[in-house]
């Protein structure tokens, strides 16, 4: 069964993974760091922004796919997909620019958790009730 809506957001998030990974490569070359962050705070934040995305996006996409496979309405899927994408963009921007508390990190984390909660409840609802 095709999953066109989940595929859209998986593709967009994969592009974000590539963008954040490319930034790490650029910073490592610039600062001549072969592994890890070499004690460079900017590089450490870039590594965490990338890592945080790859830690959270897969579960959200699995939940989206479960919802889509079980007949969730397109509007629900797009709502959580857009929310996830915006949340991950905000979080990456916030973490990349500051190691402390920031609007981007706070809002991005909150939006991601909302997606995980809505996706979890949606997956249960659409799997059990239809």
- Going from the N-terminus, what domains does the chain have, and what CATH number goes with each? 4-128 (1.20.120.550)
Q: DSSP class of residue 58?
A: H
Supply 35's token pair: 């592994």
Q: Are 91 and 112 in contact (CB under 8 A)?
A: yes
Find out whether 83 and 41 touch, Cβ atoms under 8 Å: no
Confidence (pLDDT) at 96: 86
Read off the pLDDT of residues 42-89 as tens digits, 9 standing for 90 and up: 999 999 999 999 999 999 999 999 999 999 999 999 999 999 999 999
CB atoms within 10 A of CB 115: 28
Q: What is the pLDDT of residues 32-47, one digit of tens each?
A: 998 888 889 999 999 9
């Amino acid at each position: 069964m095709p999953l066109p809506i989940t595929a859209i957001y998986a593709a967009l998030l994969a592009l974000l993974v590539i963008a954040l990974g490319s930034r790490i490569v650029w910073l490592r070359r610039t600062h001549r760091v072969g592994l890890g962050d070499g004690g460079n705070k900017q590089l450490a934040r870039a590594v965490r922004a990338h890592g945080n995305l790859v830690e959270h996006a897969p579960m959200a996409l699995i939940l989206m796919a479960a919802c889509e496979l079980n007949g969730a309405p397109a509007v629900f899927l797009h709502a959580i997909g857009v929310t996830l994408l915006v949340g991950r963009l905000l979080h990456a921007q916030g973490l990349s620019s500051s190691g402390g508390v920031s609007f981007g990190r706070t809002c991005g984390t909150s939006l991601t958790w909302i997606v995980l909660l809505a996706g979890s409840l949606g997956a249960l609802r659409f799997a059990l009730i239809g």
